[in-house]
Amino acid sequence: MGKTTCAINLAFSCAKRGWKTLLVDADPQGSVGLSLSPTAQSHSGLYEIVTQSQSLNDVALRTKLDTLKIVMAGKIPSNEVSKWCTSLQDGGSLAPFFRAATDEGFDLVVIDTPSGMHGPTEGILRNVTHVLVPQQCEPLALRSLMMTVDFLNQLQTEKESACTLVGVVLCMADQNSPESKQIVDEIRQLLPSELVVQALLPRDPSVVYASMKGMPLGLLRTPPPIAIIFDQLAAELEPKLGLSRSKQSDEYVSLVV
Ligand SMILES: Nc1ncnc2c1ncn2[C@@H]1O[C@H](COP(=O)(O)OP(=O)(O)O)[C@@H](O)[C@H]1O
Ligand SMILES: [Mg+2]
């Protein structure tokens, strides 16, 4: 839990820091769209780019930030969802999209994936360079985290995949709950320290409020403290993603799972 929230707000923070950023909704349910745009269902998106060869430039929506564009999920007919998910699985059909993102000069592509490591996520993992795993601070999630980390480490050793696990970001931490604190400690003990990002995202009602308003946290009239934590997360991830001021012309691709 926390993938879509991380994808939207991390993309916003990176764009605010000057990186030319593309946020992509790869969840067929259109989670980014549900959070940001009441008319998202009517926008062309990844579906039209891949299945109808529409151009990235025509489909990507502009935002209040010049540096941030968004590709919505697209108008996927309900009886085509399963076929669409299967078609993404081997990653080949997405390759032209990633080439187009490179050609358009994006520094960073942040992709919001559906739950699970199969279907669209599997195909995306074959095309990206970095994976970020948002992890909710609750006991049951701990088990699936270890499976996810093992799966990604295994993928990294496969020749066909060049993607690196950039880190686990702990979400919905409750500062007042001993159980939540214990989970944070356990995860930090369990995983190598470089794999758990420092920025700790608290449980905060303003996250729900921001998605009701259809905006990133940083655009709320009075940005809540968690908006600043997303800025810190962006700053922390920059070097891990290979983003550096001296290499502005290189392109990098990132993934949020
Ligand atoms: N830090 C947080 N504090 C409070 N609510 C949150 C937080 N992060 C996410 N949520 C809420 O939890 C729900 C699931 O989050 P979301 O980011 O959509 O997860 P996922 O994409 O993994 O399903 C949403 O309603 C979202 O607004
Ligand atoms: Mg989601």
Number of CB atoms found within 10 A of residue 189's CB: 9
Instruction: Quick: pLDDT tens for 140-149.
Output: 878 888 888 8
Q: What is the CATH number of the domain that holds 179?
A: 3.40.50.300
Q: Which of 104, 150, 105, 152 is nearest to 128 (CA)?
A: 152
Q: What is the DSSP letter of 202?
A: B
Q: Is ligand 1 within 6 A of the CB of residue 172?
A: yes
User: What is the chain's mean pLDDT, rounded?
Assistant: 91
Q: Is the pLDDT of residue 159 over 70?
A: no
For residue 117, the model assigns a pLDDT of 85
Q: Is the pLDDT of residue 251 over 70?
A: no
Q: Is the pLDDT of residue 217 over 50?
A: yes
Q: Which domain holds residue 251?
A: 3-256
Q: Is the pLDDT of residue 250 over 50?
A: no
Token readout for 129 is 């360079």
1 Cα nearest atom in ligand 1: 22
Q: Is ligand 1 within 6 A of the CB of residue 147?
A: no
Domain count, the chain: 1
Number of CB atoms found within 10 A of residue 129's CB: 18
How far is residue 176 from each of residues 2, 40, 180, 247, measured CA to CA in Å? 19, 37, 8, 42
Strands (E) located in 150-249: 164-171
Residues 67 and 168: their CA atoms lie apart, in Å, by: 26
